[in-house]
Amino acid sequence: MLLAIGVFSISACGEEKQMEGQNAEPTAAPAEKEAAENQTVEKNRAIYTPSDWLDEGDQIVSNTFATLSSHLKSALQRGGVQEAVQYCHLNAYPLVDSLSRVHRASIRRISLKVRNPEDLPDRFEERALNRAQKMLAEGKTIEPWVEHYPEETAYYAPIYVRDLCLKCHGTPGKTISSEDYDLIKKLYPEDEAIGYQEGDWRGLWSIRFVR
């Protein structure tokens, strides 16, 4: 379960076919509509200043967080954590992919402790995660930053754990019920994304722009 802009906890969700009888909400079209309402002017990234990259990264994180949160809260209201885990497993990737198309960027949430192997960081993202971890160890605050690669520009921003996230990313038997954790392990056998407390650093938003 993921929640936060700067305070967003990462939920690993897989792309699978809809299971028969599963109440799945529409994903791509609504997500594109929601994000497009906040992006009415085509941006010319060729003339971006450093602050422009940060501003657009902030906007994408804000829009993506709002969209994911809305869908996740609806799933929780329908059927609690079990429904939310199933919804995320089936729909979060298509939803984020849809938002990526709207924003003309690759949107990912990355961590050193992943739930879904598809969320493993690449070498640039791993370096960014290690940089953030080092900042925390030195008592520094992680602020969003931008890095320029040969063909891409990357925006990174911190993700922290909220109280609600502990239902899926906390401690099994305490904040995560045994029944809910059994489902998580069934869907994500290699899950490492547990053991967090409220306020813990969870990972980074990774936004890639092709220049």
pLDDT at 33: 54
- 9 vs 191, more confident: 191
Q: How many domains does the chain have?
A: 1
Instruction: Answer yes or no: is 25 within a domain.
Output: no
* CA separation for the pair 13, 68 (Å, rounded): 12
Query: Phi first, then psi: what are they for 150, rounded to 5°?
Result: -50, -40
Instruction: Answer yes or no: is 118 within a domain.
Output: yes
Angle at 156 between CA 45 and CA 158, to 5 degrees: 145
Instruction: Answer yes or no: is 39 within a domain.
Output: no
Please determine, for residue 197, whether its predicted confidence score (pLDDT) is greater than 80: yes
Instruction: Answer yes or no: is 197 within a domain.
Output: yes
Q: What tens digit of pLDDT does each residue of 170-183 get?
A: 999 999 999 999 99
Instruction: Answer yes or no: is 117 within a domain.
Output: yes
Give the CA count within 13 Å in the CB-facing half-sphere of 66: 14
In terms of residue numbers, what domain contains 57? 48-210
For the question of whether the overall pTM of this predicted structure is more than 0.95, the answer is no
- Confidence class of residue 40 from pLDDT cuts 50, 70 and 90? very low
- 148 vs 164, more confident: 148
Angle at 171 between CA 176 and CA 115, to 5 degrees: 85
What percentage of the chain carries pLDDT values higher than 90?
64
Q: What tens digit of pLDDT does each residue of 71-126 get?
A: 988 998 999 999 999 988 888 889 999 999 999 999 999 999 999 988 999 999 99
- Confidence class of residue 131 from pLDDT cuts 50, 70 and 90? very high
Instruction: Answer yes or no: is 81 within a domain.
Output: yes
pLDDT at 58: 98
pLDDT at 1: 43
- Confidence class of residue 30 from pLDDT cuts 50, 70 and 90? low
- Confidence class of residue 143 from pLDDT cuts 50, 70 and 90? very high
Instruction: Answer yes or no: is 32 within a domain.
Output: no
Question: Tokens standing for 137?
Answer: 């160890």
Please determine, for residue 19, whether its predicted confidence score (pLDDT) is greater than 60: no
- DSSP helix/strand/coil, 85: helix
* CA separation for the pair 64, 186 (Å, rounded): 27
What percentage of the chain carries pLDDT values higher than 70?
80
* CA separation for the pair 86, 43 (Å, rounded): 36
Instruction: Answer yes or no: is 177 within a domain.
Output: yes
